[in-house]
Amino acid sequence: MKLLQGTVLSNTWVSPRYKHMSIHAPEIVEECKAGQFFHLKCSDSFSPLLRRPMSIYKIVKKEGEIHFLYLIKGEGTKCLANMHQGDQLNMFGPLGNGFTLQTEWHSLLIVARGVGLATMAPLIDMATKQGIATYAILSARTKGDILSADYMKECGAEVVSLTDEDRDSDVEHVRKMVENVIDSKSIDALFTCGSKRLTNMLKGISLQRKIPGQVAMEENMGCGSGMCFCCVKPFNRGGEIVNLRVCSEGPVFQLEEVMEL
């Protein structure tokens, strides 16, 4: 982890609610891994005061670039949205533990919703580079919010998109699709981010079918680096309930350990 100033290369609207930001930060790209995040200082003033956690959406090692894909939600992300090319972004990271891939895995199923889509894109890139096939079921409110589908396809995933506006994103329907993909593609591991209901559903399948899974979790954060215990959630680790820090012991956890979302 480093504290650094990145230079904004671009910050563009990609849908009515989301922006895509690319940052030049060559000193840090080599350290970055899918599933990790940066703690971003969105403004120089005391409002908002705290940093905002943001997953790495894309790592372009050759060009020294880190990308973020973010939903404009409240004050912090509004400030991010107001940044322009050439501005300096105060970044702290990369933080947390990323996704891990086992060498014996051949195919992965990824289920993501909403802002979780951003977190999953670099996982697909990482898997493809290791010769692992990826199948992604993406869910969002509107077609416009399924932003990373093209990038995920480019990275090598087979992608299905579901939306609330098309009324095909309900959990039961997703469950059936997940079971179909598991059966037809002999999936070795499940990955998810962005939805409590989908995570619960996937945890059930993971336990029932004994397929390992990983989930990237979110929680409000103070320090982002393991010091303050503000981001703690309970997990079931080997039958014992333990309070773990999402920022430093996560944000990626084993699906079977998840209790409260």
Ligand X SMILES: Cc1cc2nc3c(=O)[nH]c(=O)nc-3n(C[C@H](O)[C@H](O)[C@H](O)COP(=O)(O)O)c2cc1C
Q: Give the binding site for ligand FES (CB under 6 A).
A: 221-224, 226-231, 245, 247-248
The region that residue 124 occupies, defined by phi over 0 for left and psi between -120 and 50 for alpha, beta otherwise, is: alpha
- The arrangement of strands across the sheet holding 65-71 comes to 52-55, 37-41, 88-95, 2-13, 18-24, 65-71, 58-60
Q: Which is nearer to ligand FES, 60 or 228 (CB)?
A: 228
Q: Closest distance between other proteins and the C-beta of residue 52, in Å?
A: 10
> Residue of minimal CB distance from ligand X?
228
Task: Show the site string, 78-97: x = touches other proteins by CB under 8 A, - = not.
Answer: --------------x-----
Task: Please list the alpha-helical segments (H only) found in 110-195.
Answer: 116-129, 149-155, 171-185
- Residue 50 or 211: which CB sits closer to ligand FES? 50
Q: Which is nearer to other proteins, 156 or 222 (CB)?
A: 222
Among 140, 155, 216, 231, binds other proteins (CB under 8 A): 231
Q: In whole angstroms, what is the distance from residue 140 CA to residue 114 CA?
A: 5
- State in angstroms the smallest separation of the CB of 260 from other proteins: 8
Q: Which residue, 62, 47, 54, 61, is CA-closest to 20?
A: 54
Sign of CA dihedral 92, 97, 99, 101: positive
Interface residues with ligand FAD (CB under 6 A) are: 37, 48, 50, 52-55, 57, 68-71, 73-77, 115, 118-119, 218-220, 251
